[in-house]
Structure 1
Amino acid sequence: MKVGAILKACRMRSGLSQEELAHRLFVNQSDISKFESDVKEPSISIFQQWMMNTQAQEVMVAFFCGIDGISIMQNITQLVAGTIVGGIFHVLGI
C-alpha cells in the first residue's frame, strides 16, 4: 500500500517542514521526500515515530486496522479544515 500522501498530510497538518521532521526522526530530508513520494517505504519504526511526531496516532491505528487511504485522507482533510475555521472564529471572537 502506498502511504506517501498520508505521511505528507500528517506532516503538513502538524505544521512541520520536511527538514524539521527529518531532524526529529534522525533521517535526511531527502528520505522524508522519498517516503512522501512513495519512492522509499518507511520501516515500521519510522512510521511509528512519524505518527508520534506529527500527533497523528489515530492515523496509525486506522492504517493498521485496514481502513483505506482515501478514508484516512478525508478525515485528515476534515480535521484540518475544522481547525482552520475554528481558529478564524476564535480570532474574530465568534
Structure 2
Amino acid sequence: MKKYGGILRACRERKGLTQEELALEMNVNQSDISKYESGSKEPTLSIVQAWLSNTQATEVLVAFMCGVDGLNIMQSIMQLLGG
C-alpha cells in the first residue's frame, strides 16, 4: 500500500483536513494517519473506506477498484487542488 499513501494524503488535503482533524473524525491516532500516508503502515480496507468517506473521496476507491492506477488518481486529485 506504500505507493497509495500519497493518494490518501491528497484526498485529505483536497478536503482541507489536517492529519489531526482526520484522525479525530476517524477515531484513530494522528501518528497512524502519518504512517498510512508515508506507507510505513498498511491500512485495512475499513480504514481506507473510512478515510475516503471522511474526505468525501469515494470516487478514488471506485477508480482504484476499476483498475485506474494510483498515479492517474493522484494527478487528477492534484489538478482539482490546483497544483
Q: Give me the TM-score of the superposition, normalised by structure 2.
A: 0.93
Q: For residues 19-57 of structure 1, what are the alpha-carbon distances to aligned partners after superposition, in whole Å with 9 as ceiling and x for unaligned?
A: 000011110000000000000011101100100110101
Detail structure 1 runs of 4+ shifted over 3 Å in the superposition.
none
Structure 2 gaps, min length 5: none
The size of the alignment, in residue pairs, is 82
1:87 maps to what in 2?
none
Indicate the structure (1 or 2) with the bigger Cα radius of gyration: 1
Offset of 1:3 from its aligned partner? 1.0
| Identity value in percent | 65
Structure-1 separation of matches of 2:67 and 2:40:
22
- CA–CA distance in structure 1, aligned partners of residues 78 and 20 of structure 2: 23
Matched, 1:75 2:76: yes
Please tell me whether residue 22 in structure 1 is matched to residue 49 in structure 2. Answer: no
Runs of at least 5 residues in structure 1 that lack an aligned partner in the other structure = 83-94
Residues in 2 aligned to 1:66 and 1:31: alpha-carbon distance in whole angstroms: 27
**Superposed counterparts of 1:34-73, under 5 Å:** 34-73=35-74
